[in-house]
Chain A
């Protein structure tokens, strides 16, 4: 009976040990690491708000397969980017390049901010002038009236 229990535990231990040994995600962890780094900055064309690294779409899986092969073939990051851009356009890059067609995209927020600051400064200066000049805008007659009213309220 004891022997049977030992055997049972041994069998269980074996089963547990083999269960821990999950299939490796990739043959080569170095390739996989680079693949993740590159594909994180790329858009999956099928589900456009997902990165190529995270998407489970079939096209994304195929593209990861292609990129894996390019990495194994020793291509540089720039060459791999070019592979994707030549097929799907700049749209696949989450970080679009600076070039004439994207100038507005890159500069737009800063142009808006500078415009806003200029408008704010102009407005504040104009308002400042109105406040400064406010006293001088009172005529003598007005001033007498003010004094009369103040005295009246004091009494």
Chain B
């Protein structure tokens, strides 16, 4: 009989549990359907050398990282020093995708903050971004030797993400054939 009084309490606890989980999740992080799918192909001009193109096919057989950035993107400035450090390590080719930007602004950004990229592709009208399901710059993709997207990071890379998720994945993918 006494247990009956515990039923509302138990229901309340369940509700609190749901709310606690729900409130701690970031609604901006939408799971991407592109993970474990082939990286969409593109062939667009490079940022620094306008008459040279870049295509993901150029890096087939290598593990590489695609970082979507823009000079107008404030959050990109947050992760930029970390990318510069990462670029120095030469762990994998780091390709930038300059998303919906002006060439001059982008070049100035790299001059001021440092250029961690092996090269940047210039996505002026955001078409490549749409193919990659980009909705919040910065975003980072890790692509394996077969050209398959293995990880998508939405928002700035933090030191924790880099050390805890990205580096272990890169090392694992590099070992895989």
A residues with a Cβ closer than 8 A to B are 45-46, 48, 58-59, 62-63, 66, 85-89, 91
Does A91 lie within 8 Å of B30, measured CB to CB? yes
Residues of A within 8 A of B126 (CB): 59, 62
- A sample of 25 cross-chain residue pairs with beta-carbon separation below 8 angstroms, ordered by A number, consists of A45-B30, A46-B135, A46-B136, A48-B27, A59-B126, A62-B100, A62-B125, A62-B126, A62-B130, A63-B130, A66-B130, A86-B34, A87-B33, A87-B34, A87-B130, A87-B132, A87-B133, A88-B32, A88-B133, A88-B135, A89-B30, A89-B31, A89-B33, A89-B133, A91-B30
Query: Smallest CB–CB gap between B94 and chain A, Å?
Result: 23
A48-B135 Cα distance, complex, nearest whole Å: 11
A88-B130 Cα distance, complex, nearest whole Å: 9
B131 at the interface (CB under 8 A from A): yes
The closest CB in chain A to the CB of B33 belongs to: A89
A62-B137 Cα distance, complex, nearest whole Å: 15
Proximity string of chain B (118-138) to chain A, C-beta cutoff 8 Å, 1 when within and 0 when not? 000000011100111101100
A124-B35 Cα distance, complex, nearest whole Å: 52
Does A58 lie within 8 Å of B100, measured CB to CB? yes
A88-B126 Cα distance, complex, nearest whole Å: 15
Query: Smallest CB–CB gap between A22 and chain B, Å?
Result: 26
Chain B interface bracket (under 10, 10 to 19, 20 to 34, 35 or more)? 10 to 19
| Chain A to chain B: the 6 pairs with minimum beta-carbon distance, closest first | A45-B135, A87-B133, A89-B33, A91-B30, A62-B126, A88-B133
Residues of B within 8 A of A48 (CB): 27-28
Residues of B within 8 A of A46 (CB): 135-136
Residues of A within 8 A of B34 (CB): 86-87
Option from A59, A66, A86, A88 in Cβ contact (under 8 Å) with B30: A88
A35-B157 Cα distance, complex, nearest whole Å: 36
Query: Smallest CB–CB gap between B39 and chain A, Å?
Result: 13
Residues of A within 8 A of B28 (CB): 48
A91-B100 Cα distance, complex, nearest whole Å: 24
Query: Smallest CB–CB gap between A48 and chain B, Å?
Result: 6
Proximity string of chain B (18-40) to chain A, C-beta cutoff 8 Å, 1 when within and 0 when not? 00000000011011111000000
The closest CB in chain A to the CB of B134 belongs to: A59
Residues of B within 8 A of A59 (CB): 126, 135
The closest CB in chain B to the CB of A49 belongs to: B27
Query: Smallest CB–CB gap between B41 and chain A, Å?
Result: 14
The closest CB in chain A to the CB of B31 belongs to: A89
Query: Smallest CB–CB gap between B97 and chain A, Å?
Result: 15
Residues of A within 8 A of B135 (CB): 45-46, 59, 88
